[in-house]
């Protein structure tokens, strides 16, 4: 039986330059999608998958991110005094138990693989998940939970995957597929940002991973890949070369790239329309905008 996945790494050291000037003072990960920050969606997904230990790889200027998960005694006391129990419950649901979160600094922006490597001492000899908060996935069953349930049957390393238009594949890590077994794909190769026309498939790697410590040992070599950075995809590809199993998992759900402005706006509309308390008024507003008439 494969060991349970109870630890997750959240690489959140990026500067969020595509969202300047907002990210000059606000970490991108706590920018709000409707009324919850991006990082909260990632944490909730991890919890649903059975994650108990949360490891954040941060950088300078991320203090507000750390504060978000702390208790807010004055705010809680104020809400309690005013009888706003619903809001109090919401605030308390964001608190994390003492010791559940650890913060590691990535002092140089050397790539995703390097960010994951920075957390190696907290992983020990256990399988672990990696979640990229920029990728927000709307699904009936959270994406990482889907993956963990399958991982417990097959083991190895596993990456979330989805089909993308062929002309966009060069922007992703791309799978070279050996065999397809329902949503599970046995992988014989992975290429980070392949040149156009040289993509092995249009099955792209998305920001959810379940990895073994063999990947961390591979990252110890600190070999630079695409863009001169230490690529996590390259380390996973070396697992295939070492004849250890690597799988792609075609998850059920819709992924939004909230690291881009368009993706963030798309997610805001989709999540807003999915909220019963917002849906009616918001849909009327959107219909008015599309028709060119002011919303009533």
Q: Residues of 281-290 as b/e, b for ≥16 C-beta within 10 angstroms?
A: ebeeeeeeee
Whether 222 contacts 119, CB under 8 Å: no
More confident residue, 69 or 275: 275
d(CA 112, CA 225): 11
Mean pLDDT, rounded, for 17-24: 86
More confident residue, 130 or 233: 130
pLDDT at 224: 66
pLDDT at 23: 85
Weakest-pLDDT range from 73-87, 129-143, 187-201 = 187-201
Instruction: Classify 6 as helix, strand or coil.
Output: coil
User: What are 54's two structure tokens?
Assistant: 């949360």
Whether 49 contacts 129, CB under 8 Å: yes
pLDDT-derived band at 254, boundaries 50, 70, 90: very high
pLDDT at 296: 52
pLDDT tens profile 21-36: 988 888 889 899 998 9
| Residue 199 confidence (pLDDT) above 70 | yes
pLDDT at 205: 92
Mean pLDDT, rounded, for 6-31: 88
Mean pLDDT, rounded, for 221-230: 68
| Residue 287 confidence (pLDDT) above 60 | yes
pLDDT at 25: 83
d(CA 232, CA 221): 12
d(CA 185, CA 203): 10
What phi, psi does 94 have (nearest 5°)?
-90, -10
Mean pLDDT, rounded, for 259-268: 94
Domains of the chain: 7-274 (3.90.550.10)
pLDDT-derived band at 47, boundaries 50, 70, 90: very high
User: What are 185's two structure tokens?
Assistant: 């794909």
Instruction: Classify 179 as helix, strand or coil.
Output: strand
pLDDT-derived band at 267, boundaries 50, 70, 90: very high
d(CA 262, CA 285): 19
What phi, psi does 128 have (nearest 5°)?
-150, 160
pLDDT at 179: 87
Q: Where are the alpha helices (DSSP H) in the chain?
A: 38-48, 63-68, 73-81, 85-93, 112-118, 120-123, 143-154, 213-219, 232-241, 261-273, 279-291
Q: Are strands 53-58 and 173-181 parallel, antiparallel or unpaired?
A: unpaired
d(CA 219, CA 236): 9
pLDDT at 228: 66
| Residue 67 confidence (pLDDT) above 70 | yes
pTM here is 0.88
| Residue 225 confidence (pLDDT) above 70 | no
Mean pLDDT, rounded, for 179-191: 89
């Amino acid at each position: 039986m494969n060991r349970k996945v109870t630890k997750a790494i959240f690489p959140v050291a990026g500067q969020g330059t595509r969202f300047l000037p907002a990210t000059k003072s606000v970490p991108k990960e706590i920018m709000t999608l409707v009324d919850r920050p991006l990082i909260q969606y990632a944490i909730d997904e991890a919890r649903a998958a059975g994650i108990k230990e949360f490891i954040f790889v941060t950088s300078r200027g991320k203090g507000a991110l750390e504060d978000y998960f702390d208790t807010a005694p004055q705010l809680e006391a104020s809400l309690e005094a005013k009888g706003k129990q619903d809001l109090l419950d919401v605030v308390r649901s964001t608190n994390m138990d003492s010791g559940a979160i650890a913060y590691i600094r990535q002092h140089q922006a050397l790539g995703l693989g390097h960010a994951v490597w920075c957390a190696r001492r907290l992983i020990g000899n256990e399988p672990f998940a990696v979640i990229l908060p920029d990728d927000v996935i709307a699904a009936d069953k959270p994406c990482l939970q889907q993956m963990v349930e399958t991982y417990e049957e097959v083991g190895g390393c596993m990456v979330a995957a989805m089909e993308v238009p062929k002309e966009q594949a060069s922007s992703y890590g791309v799978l070279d597929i050996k065999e397809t077994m329902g949503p599970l794909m046995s992988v014989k190769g992975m290429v980070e940002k392949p040149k156009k026309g040289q993509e092995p498939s249009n099955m792209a790697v998305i920001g959810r991973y379940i990895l073994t410590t063999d990947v961390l040992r591979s990252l110890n070599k600190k070999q630079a890949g695409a863009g001169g950075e230490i690529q996590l995809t390259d380390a996973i590809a070396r697992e295939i070369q070492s004849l250890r199993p690597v799988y792609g998992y075609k998850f059920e759900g819709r992924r939004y790239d909230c690291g881009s402005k368009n993706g963030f706006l798309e997610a805001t509309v989709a999540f807003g329309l999915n909220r019963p308390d917002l849906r009616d008024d918001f849909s009327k507003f959107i219909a008015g905008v599309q028709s060119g008439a002011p919303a009533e």
